[in-house]
Amino acid sequence: MRFTLKKDKSGVVVVGVEGQLIVGNRQELKQKVLDALEDGSRKFVIDFSKTGYIDSSGLGVLVSLSKKIREQGGELRLAGLNADLQTLFELTKLDTLFSITRTAEEALAAF
Amino acid sequence: MKLDVPSDLGMVGDAVELVASHLPPGTLSPRRISFNLRTALAEALGNAIRYGNGEDPDRVVRIRVELGRDVVRIYVVDDGAGFDPSHTPDPTSPENLEREFGRGLFVIRHLVDDVAFNEKGNGICLTLRAG
């Protein structure tokens, strides 16, 4: 499991989640995003195209990050969910809280 | 298969992979193993370590896997006092939707075919059937 952060030319931070986002690594993701927020970034895309599974702690950290980013006038978007992950967001109704796009490129274009 | 897992949340991912990778081919579909089983087991194990054992390094969580012809049962038991699974708020209600915690059991119940708890409330059995 690994998290990658890249800032595109328009200043949007794209976070890649490789493997899984679960109780054991969610704090690492949270800290990386909060550090970028502290450094002035306001637009974020989390790309799940290389993610196998997400547990409820992972979902919870996304909710928490979204709130913190919104409080700073920014926005968090999600992208690249496979069919199972999309279903997970729908059954928890978190699809109503987030802007979700098919790919990270689509999320970037929509900012 | 039996596995004792230390009360360390950092071990959840490795323990889940160990269990998932040792299921015989054909027991469940690859998709059910890669998503439903892994997610549900990570939930159950994370809950047991955090809430059951309070992340106490002197306590372990015990996992036992039973294989049937078309079924996998995974028992996860912690050393805690147990809890009442019937008293968990609906995480999809509007007042709970933006809460960081409280989705674990809800997610488990949607990903496996059957969920059962022992009488004390410190053990959960996840049942996944083929097909």
Smallest CA–CA separation between B66 and chain A, in Å? 23
Which residue range(s) make up the domain with A62?
A: 2-110
> Which CATH number goes with the domain that contains B28?
3.30.565.10
- Judged against a pLDDT cut of 80, whether residue B131 lies above it is answered with no
Q: Which residues of B touch A22 (CB under 8 A)?
A: 12-13, 16, 42, 46
> Which CATH number goes with the domain that contains A96?
3.30.750.24
CA distance A82 to A86: 6
Nearest to A63 by CA among A87, A95, A40, A88: A95
Judged by a CB distance cut-off of 8 A, whether residue B19 touches chain A is: no
Smallest CA–CA separation between B30 and chain A, in Å? 12
Task: State residue B86's pLDDT score.
Answer: 86
pLDDT tens string B26-58: 889 999 999 999 999 999 999 999 999 999 999
Q: How many domains does chain B have?
A: 1
Judged by a CB distance cut-off of 8 A, whether residue B81 touches chain A is: no
Task: State residue B50's pLDDT score.
Answer: 96
Task: State residue A59's pLDDT score.
Answer: 98
Interface test with A, best of B5, B7, B9 (most A CBs within 10 A): B9
- Judged against a pLDDT cut of 90, whether residue B87 lies above it is answered with no
Strand partners, A75: A43
Task: State residue B60's pLDDT score.
Answer: 97
The residue in chain B having the minimum alpha-carbon distance to the alpha carbon of residue A20 is B13
Q: Which residues of A touch B99 (CB under 8 A)?
A: 60, 63
The residue in chain A having the minimum alpha-carbon distance to the alpha carbon of residue B104 is A56
Task: State residue A24's pLDDT score.
Answer: 93
Judged by a CB distance cut-off of 8 A, whether residue A20 touches chain B is: yes
pLDDT band at A12 (very low <50, low <70, confident <90, very high): very high
Task: State residue B110's pLDDT score.
Answer: 96
Higher pLDDT among residues B27 and A82, named by residue = A82
CB contact under 8 A, B34 and A92: no
Which residue range(s) make up the domain with B25?
A: 2-129
- Judged against a pLDDT cut of 80, whether residue B113 lies above it is answered with yes
Interface predicted TM-score (ipTM) of this complex, two decimals: 0.93
Tokens of B93: 């209600």
pLDDT tens string A18-56: 999 999 999 999 999 999 999 999 999 999 999 999 999
